[in-house]
Amino acid sequence: MTPRLSPFLTRAAGATALFLACSAAWGAPVAAVHEAAQAERQAMLDTMRDLVGIESGSKDVEGVERIAALVRDRLAALGGKAEIIQPAQVFRLDDTPEKVGPMVRAEFLGSGDKKIMLIAHMDTVYRNGMLKDQPFRIDGDKAYGLGIADDKHGVAAIIHTLALLRKLDFRGYGKITVLINGDEEISSPGARDTITTLAADQDAVFSYEGGGAEARLTLATSGIGAAYLTVQGKTSHAGARPEGGINALYELAHQVLQMDKLSQPDKGLKLNWTVAQAGTNRNVIPGQATAQADARALRVADFDALARTLEEKSRNKLLPESKVSVKFEVRRPPLEATAASRALASHGVAIYQELGLPMKVVDRASGGGTDAAFAALKARGPVIEGMGLSGFGAHSNDAEYIQIGSIVPRLYLSTRMIMDVSQGKAPLK
């Protein structure tokens, strides 16, 4: 359903002038923007209902294609040049499926010179058939639904922020680029390069993951990595001729133990071996053994250094005739706070205060897994995460919801941030 113009906004041409007059001083909300956000509340609920109604698990490519068509059409109806695009290349991770879902890209051209990027994702962690147990429904101040908190509300927030800008007749930006990802929940193997490439040319990037149960903006998340260790030995009878084999389990144990002390807790670097497999029968010297480790880091450089160290250590073998290989993959780089992102987030806090609402800024890494980190890899401007609604229960099959009361404040924040960046009223350094 394409959002309809609210009656009171037929005087949209005057809204931008009102914004210019009122935004010079902090204190009270800009009336035209706040009224427009209030009028958009039901339309955004309707959009979330429509998005939740399409099952779009990351590995359900057909489902992702269906929701992508809906998102493309909504963005096109708002005046954007919108298209569904396939990954230019797929970064193959250990669990990457043969085919990944598409993305939706849209561009909105304005009269200014600032370039702003808005990102969210439309895929979920759920399997087909689960929607019947968690359909869209409203209960009090909560809207429930499969994938609504992660991250279908974020897609809706982008759509209705753009609807507000259109109704307010604000075109002071140079170009707004929207990218909606279809494989975020499996570490964005198809979208990561596109996100990084597009974000490199932006003055600011806003990512619409959830804004927390208590309102916040996020500037830092830990990165997620994985190490895979493989040992090739030689099988032999464990009782009759053990000396004829090369015990891959022994070599694996040696490798894991010598790689066990690579964590640096004081720097936020963690490496923990969590999975191991070896052997097929009790009376057979194992010819192959494997292990996996979970890695976390606060800085991109720490992952680079860890990968080099793992490779160097793997050359020190207990059994010279064994073959040892180690692979390290960055599933998510860390998102690192910068002076520019702190300054822009502080501006967002001031905007929220116009509504009499508090908002935290999280600039120390906690958790991980955000496309904003891919955007930040080569970004020349600040990257802000957590522009979405307040909610709870992501990845849960019985309690995923967003707080309806956060719709108007977050639409107001999102719209004002874009307007202020566009007009040079928000700090970008």
Active-site residues, by number, are 123, 184
* C-alpha span between 287 and 332 (Å, rounded): 33
Q: Which of 281, 284, 257 is nearest to 271 (CA)?
A: 257
E strand or H helix at 39, and its extent? helix 31-39
For 115, residues 6+ apart whose C-beta sits below 8 A from its C-beta are 173, 174, 175, 177, 201, 202, 203
Residue 213, token pair as written in the block? 């149960």
Q: Max Cα separation, the chain?
A: 91
* C-alpha span between 4 and 7 (Å, rounded): 9
The per-residue b/e assignment along 362-378, b for 16 or more CB within 10 angstroms, e otherwise, is beebeebbbbbbbbbbe
Helices (H), 168-212: 192-199
Whether residue 151 is preceded by a cis peptide bond, meaning omega within 30 degrees of 0, is yes
* C-alpha span between 363 and 219 (Å, rounded): 5
CB 190 within 8 A of CB 100: yes
* C-alpha span between 305 and 313 (Å, rounded): 12
User: Hey, how many other C-beta atoms are within 10 angstroms of the C-beta on 242?
Assistant: 13
Coil, helix or strand at residue 347: helix
